[in-house]
Amino acid sequence: MVEAGLEPEVQEIFGHVQLGHNFLLSGGAGSGKTYSLVQFIQEAIKLNPTVAVACMTYTNAAVKEIEERVNHENLQVSTIHDFLWDNIKSFQNELKKTLIQLVNDPAVKIKVPDGIVDATYYDALVDGIQYKEYVSITNGIISHDEVLILANYMFQTYPKLCDILKDKYKFILVDEYQDTNPLVVEIFLQHLKQSNRKNIIGFFGDSMQSIYEDGVGDLNTYIQAGEVYEVKKEQNRRNPISVIELANRLRTDGIKQHPSSDNHAPNMQDGRVREGTIKFYYSSQGVNNLETLKRTLNWDFDNAIQTKELNLTHNLIAPKAGFGELMEIYDNDKILDYKNRIAKYIKENNVAIDFSEKTFGEVIRILKDGKTGSELKKVNPTTGMQSFIDAHSEQFESAKQYPFDVFKKIYLDKDSLLDDTKKDKEDENKKGTKRDELIKHLFKIQNNINLYKEERYNEFLRKTEYRISNIADKQNLKDTIETLDRMSDETIEDVIDYAHDNRICKKDDKFDNFLRDKEYVFIQVKKIKFQVFQNLFYYLEGYTPFSTQHKIKGAEFDNVLVVLDNGNWNTYNFEYLMNEGIFDSLTASKKSSFQTILTRTQKIFYVCCTRAKENLVVFYNLPSVAIIEKAKVWFGEANVHSIDA
């Protein structure tokens, strides 16, 4: 008998469980989804004292939170990657066969340097296939990305694995399901159907907060097919009523939140929901007025616990936060822009010359040969490109020596440097991210330094190749970390080499592949002081008064300032969000991607607004008339103000 004191939504879930249904609890921001998850686990164990429950989430912090709320021997809480590895690592013969199969499949992004491998390639490995923090496919060492691919293939190929998993766990629960990689969803909702054993798969989350591109986003296909039954949780325990009403205007999935009936909910005061404030400010003159607005608000922006400024405008933040040199490389390289101009000319003009053996410099010379006037102008740098080339002549001469087939594949943008699609610093590689492998490698170095300094020694040893056998090893490690910690003024290259040589962070396959394919980028980055990267690290990890919109997912603050500025991002467009008529003005090619960008932007804006527990202010620089009118609809005309005066 299900306990009567459970939340109505949890009682509804158990109704589905009794019918053998897989389920989904959908709840908006601040609805208390984790509380429902904990209630379900506690009741499931109470009703089934002899069965095991598996609960997966994304970060080590979330794992600890759930373990602290439910302490029971029948409950296993882990990250998704750890869970999948734990359930395939004992089947080494199958693992070796699978890895060989995938390495030899050109459609799969798992490769060894020598190409195709034979059926006995991994037989000589003493320790078999291993899962570590770095990748060395040649030596049978896989990391986070490969675990998902291997597990998906193995559960699809070996139905016996599905039997074993279902026998082992009566309940498999996935927290923050919307961010789950589709490969994981396939395992639980498709591959496990190969087994006739019975168990329940439960998902908890919010499709409107699926702001990570590699996530499944929603389970609508499975819901419509009757394979998953949805339970909606529509209360809001965090936000004031003004923010709740704004958030409801932004949602697209039919969930309309209302204040909780619990008088003790955080957003209640004296038996009533807090009113709160929402304001929309704009400037038609320039972003400098943002500082004027911040002074006018009179919030304590140095108090990162109480007040947060959320930005996508990294270009404006970079100099203040101290990583401008890296931003210049990743977002202002006009030599690469010129390379793109050359590649575009070749494609659009159907140039039939074979450039496969030519350098970038030779391609430029061949295309210019014999051209004059307007034709020459098409293959010359633009004025802006030429100014950059003149100021970076040595860099340009180096670029001209690269094989064109290699150089033309190098693309850099802010996402390669700044993409923040993970949730905590220990999980750098566990979320899909657009950061390139060089930046990921630097993050691993700094993460490992921090783990040691925070005395989290077990985690440190698990993530590094360092081994301690005696007191001398401990002292050597202490000296090594202290040396690394003093290397802020050394170059990035020196830090990478020292961390590798001292087994703090190995250069793996992914790092080596980056050097092979993007040496041009590494040559520029390696000369920069490590302190510049550390400034970037602390910015993205939320140690500065500024923050990215991704970083605050799940967090909450009394005061939230959201700065809307497209900043030339390809993945977000606030003009799309707030100007409904813009679709008609787009070219056919842009219309095809309009809905994807709009949906992504709408979700990131929803996440930002719903962080506010008291006051929400949105600032938009240089809005169109249509955007101002849309703001009046969403925020109320009395809450929309120009700050130019």
Alpha carbon 526 to its chain's center = 25
Kindly state the average pLDDT of the residues 22-26.
Answer: 98
pTM: predicted TM-score of the whole model, two decimal places:
0.79
5 belongs to an annotated ligand binding site: no
> CA-based Rg of the chain, rounded to a whole angstrom?
27
- Say which residue the tokens 């100099």 belong to: 319
pLDDT above 60 (res 490): yes
User: Does the residue 240 lie in any domain?
Assistant: no
Which of these three, 383, 411, 439, is where a domain ends? 411
510 belongs to an annotated ligand binding site: no
User: What would the pLDDT profile of 611-628 be if each residue is shown by its tens digit?
Assistant: 999 999 999 988 989 999
In the prediction, which pLDDT does 171 show?
98
Closest CA to 88 of 40, 128, 117: 128
In the prediction, which pLDDT does 569 show?
58
Is there a single domain that holds both residue 575 and residue 597?
Answer: yes
29 belongs to an annotated ligand binding site: yes
User: What would the pLDDT profile of 290-308 be if each residue is shown by its tens digit?
Assistant: 888 999 999 998 887 899 8
Is there a single domain that holds both residue 578 and residue 632?
Answer: yes
CA–CA gap between residue 539 and residue 323 (Å, rounded): 9
User: Does the residue 600 lie in any domain?
Assistant: yes
pLDDT above 70 (res 544): no
In the prediction, which pLDDT does 552 show?
62
CA–CA gap between residue 271 and residue 281 (Å, rounded): 32
Q: Which domain holds residue 17?
A: 8-79+159-233
pLDDT above 70 (res 554): no
User: What would the pLDDT profile of 97-119 be if each residue is shown by its tens digit?
Assistant: 999 999 988 888 887 766 667 88
Contact indicator for 283, 564 with CB cutoff of 8 Å = no
In the prediction, which pLDDT does 414 show?
80
The helix/strand/coil state of 29 is coil
CA angle 427, 429, 434 (to 5 degrees): 120
Diameter over CA atoms, the chain: 87
Q: What is the DSSP string of 289-353?
A: HHHHHHHHHT--TT-TTTEEEEES-HHHHHHHHT-HHHHHHHH--HHHHHHHHHHHHHHHTT---
32 belongs to an annotated ligand binding site: yes
Which of these three, 508, 541, 574, is where a domain ends? 541
Is there a single domain that holds both residue 604 and residue 537?
Answer: no
In the prediction, which pLDDT does 570 show?
65
Count of the separate structural domains present in the chain: 5
Is there a single domain that holds both residue 48 and residue 21?
Answer: yes
User: Does the residue 87 lie in any domain?
Assistant: no
294 belongs to an annotated ligand binding site: no
Task: Quote the strand ranges of 460-548, DSSP E.
Answer: 546-548
User: Does the residue 243 lie in any domain?
Assistant: no
CA–CA gap between residue 257 and residue 495 (Å, rounded): 50
27 belongs to an annotated ligand binding site: yes
pLDDT above 70 (res 366): yes
